[in-house]
């Protein structure tokens, strides 16, 4: 099975931040303090995304089903 990943940094594909929705869903909202720190420029994008990924729980199948 082949997958494609689209990065929509300028909202030309969607009007919603898909990554943020994904991280919020799979972290059960625990990512929100990280996003606030990122918006306040207290942490880097890498630190924010790494932290969000660490907060996520779910199986590979659940991740695929969510984005499908």
Prediction pTM value = 0.76
Among 5, 1, 7, 3, residue whose Cα is nearest residue 45: 7
The answer to whether the Cα torsion of 33, 50, 10, 19 is positive or negative is negative
Boundaries of every domain in the chain: 18-67
> Which pLDDT score, from 0 to 100, does residue 67 have?
82
For 43-67, the pLDDT digits (tens) are 999 999 999 999 999 999 999 999 8
């Amino acid at each position: 099975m082949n997958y494609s990943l689209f990065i929509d940094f300028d909202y030309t594909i969607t009007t919603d931040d898909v990554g943020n929705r994904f991280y919020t869903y799979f972290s059960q909202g625990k990512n929100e303090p990280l996003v606030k720190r990122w918006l306040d420029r207290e942490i880097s994008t890498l630190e924010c995304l790494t932290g969000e990924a660490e907060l996520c729980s779910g199986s590979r199948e659940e991740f695929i089903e969510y984005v499908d």
